Amino acid sequence: MAYVIMEYVEGKTLAKIMRELDNDITLDMIASVFSSVSHALEVAHKAGILHLDIKPENVIVNKEGVVKVTDFGLSTLMDASGQGETGGGTIGYMPLEQMRQQRLDVRTDEWALASLTYEMLSGKNPFKARSLDDAESAIEGAELVIPSLCWEDIDESVDDIMFDALSPDMDGRYPDIEAFAEDLMPLLGSAREGKTQLAKAVKDSESLREEPAPRPPKPYVPFIDRLGMRGSNIVMRVSAALGAAMLGVVALLNFRFDFTQASQAASSSQTIEAGANTVFGLFSTVPIAAWAILAVLVALAALWPRFAMPAGYGLFVVALFFNQAWLPAFLLLAGTGAWWWFFGRRSDMMATLVMLQPLFGSIGFAALVPVLSGALLDIRDAVLAAGMAILSAFVMASMGSGDIMNWEVVSNFIVAVNPSIAGASISGGFVESLSSAQNWVVAASWLAAAALYSLICRKGTHVFDILASVAAAACIVGGVLVVPLATGNLGLLTPLAISGSIVPALVGVVFALLDVPDRVRMAPGEW
């Protein structure tokens, strides 16, 4: 594979230097440029290469005043007769034979060098034109300014040398660059002085250069985009694993087989250690089995959340049956089975959100589930997920708190050791939670929050996402306030109830600010 390795030259093009210096360019500078460019072309020609694009833009002067010839993009190799061909060039710096795509030789580069030098001497390039036809006319009928008239201290013989090198006819030019340079160089200034002056010109213009404009700030990349699909998927699976772990631990702690010893321990004056092998359920009686079941459940949640959801709730239903809590057990079994078969088995996200209810509800933030459902799911799925979370919340409230927002894990993660007592306690707690007007108003606010959040987010703009989150927040907070304000029973407004509504509401707003609702609603492959 052929390729070119180019030297990095830190400096300025001759075109830019000429624009900046204008009339301040000196014969010494011209001598330095001409000497370097002509020498570069001599080396190239001896190597059998024609440059064919000599122009001010392709000559660079570095900070030490060294002149470099660049851009051999149009160069060509000469054949045995010293000729070559090209398909391009730059108007103003290519002679007639190059424009007409005739055979070229070293005199083609000579004409381009003469054009560049004439421009430095006279301050203008008379051969520039809009088209090739106009350029041909400019070369054949040009009225050239006599170079010696532009300088007080230059010999008039410069005129003939320049006009010979700029001859439209190749045969009228010097035979090669070396002959052209041999005649012209003695009539120009000092190349060594010119090198020093060029270096100073480059450095002075560098020092006068305006301070670079501050870099524009990097565009803000929403956190959800930085997280990406892969990161979001990991977060969902970790969340599912945590939710399944909570369900599994509570269920396994309440699996008890030795009812006799458990009842004796509960009715005696001995400490809980007396029935240690039954108090902590399967973790007491068969700890290996308990940890194995829990590990399988958590792994299942991390890999396939949609299958872990019925497994986790099924385990909890079995625990309710063990404790003879028939009513909540049958309702949860029927509700979970129907919900999963018709809806949940098709969506890992829905299954994950439902499994998070026992986890969030254990610390008083059960309202997070409907808020997240509205942010992450379409309307129907959001309402269905919130509905299943409400059923779960009522059952978890039967563990002792009677409050669907907070089932108080610290106090209620182990029910009464005696199954008959536990069953009566759980069933009674379930009926009590169902009888609470506050719970039903809160449940209705959850459904409304999920529906409104998802509905307004359908607009697909950042502003509407924020409006959706605010609407959901109003529903969540309003659901907690309605009954206490309507009945005058302000005792219901406990710190836990207030924080349990405000925190989920704020989380919903943060999700909108982070553009989460927009991303999850994009078509596959767009995000």
DSSP string, 119-160: HHHHS--TT--SSHHHHHHHHHT--PPPGGGG-TTS-THHHH
Rounded to whole angstroms, the Cα distance separating 408 from 446 reads: 19
pLDDT at 245: 96
Per residue in 257-284, pLDDT (tens digit) is 754 544 544 454 444 444 445 688 889 8
Return the ∠ at Cα 196 (arms to 23 and 198), rounded to 5°: 40
Span 473-498, average pLDDT: 88
Region of poorest pLDDT, from 57-61, 187-191, 226-230: 226-230
Taking the CA atoms of residue 109, residue 113, residue 119 and residue 125 in that order, the dihedral angle to the nearest 10 degrees is 0
Rounded to whole angstroms, the Cα distance separating 508 from 59 reads: 62
**What confidence category does residue 496 fall into, taking pLDDT thresholds of 50, 70 and 90?**
confident
Rounded to whole angstroms, the Cα distance separating 309 from 344 reads: 8
pLDDT at 278: 67
HEC profile of 30-41: HHHHHHHHHHHH
**Element housing 527 (H / E):** none
Place of tokens 């020093």: 196
**Element housing 248 (H / E):** helix 223-253
Per residue in 303-325, pLDDT (tens digit) is 999 999 999 999 999 999 999 99
Mean pLDDT for all residues in the chain = 88
Span 170-185, average pLDDT: 93
Displacement of CA 490 from its chain's centroid (Å): 48
DSSP string covering 262-298: HHHHHHSSS-GGGGHHHHTTHHHH-HHHHHHHHHHHH
Span 418-431, average pLDDT: 88
Region of poorest pLDDT, from 36-45, 484-493, 503-512: 484-493
b vs e for 210-228, b when ≥16 Cβ sit within 10 Å of the residue's Cβ?
eeeeeeeeeeeeeebeebe
Per residue in 355-368, pLDDT (tens digit) is 999 999 999 999 99
pLDDT at 272: 44
**What confidence category does residue 329 fall into, taking pLDDT thresholds of 50, 70 and 90?**
very high
CB atoms inside a 10 Å sphere around CB 504: 26
pLDDT over 80 (residue 402)? yes
pLDDT at 223: 76
pLDDT at 489: 83
Taking the CA atoms of residue 390, residue 394, residue 399 and residue 402 in that order, the dihedral angle to the nearest 10 degrees is 120
Structure tokens at 88: 């391009």
3-state secondary structure of 77: strand
pLDDT > 90: what percent of the chain?
59
pLDDT at 269: 42
pLDDT at 160: 92
- Side-chain-facing half-sphere of 401: CA atoms under 13 Å: 24
**Element housing 68 (H / E):** strand 67-69
Among 71, 76, 77, 58, CA closest to 12: 58
CB atoms inside a 10 Å sphere around CB 140: 10
pLDDT > 70: what percent of the chain?
93
**What confidence category does residue 82 fall into, taking pLDDT thresholds of 50, 70 and 90?**
confident
Return the ∠ at Cα 99 (arms to 96 and 101), rounded to 5°: 105
Structure tokens at 323: 């404790």
Among 134, 52, 124, CA closest to 93: 52
pLDDT over 80 (residue 411)? yes
Span 12-39, average pLDDT: 91
Q: Is-contact 171 105, C-beta < 8 A? A: no
**What confidence category does residue 209 fall into, taking pLDDT thresholds of 50, 70 and 90?**
low
pLDDT over 50 (residue 292)? yes
Rounded to whole angstroms, the Cα distance separating 152 from 157 reads: 13
Span 477-502, average pLDDT: 88
pLDDT over 60 (residue 210)? no
Span 155-175, average pLDDT: 92
CB atoms inside a 10 Å sphere around CB 127: 22
Among 251, 294, 258, CA closest to 276: 258
Q: Is-contact 368 415, C-beta < 8 A? A: no
pLDDT over 90 (residue 525)? no
- DSSP label of 49: E
Region of poorest pLDDT, from 42-51, 142-151, 281-290, 359-368: 142-151
Span 422-434, average pLDDT: 92
Report the DSSP beta bridge partners of residue 84: 104
- Side-chain-facing half-sphere of 513: CA atoms under 13 Å: 7
Span 475-489, average pLDDT: 90
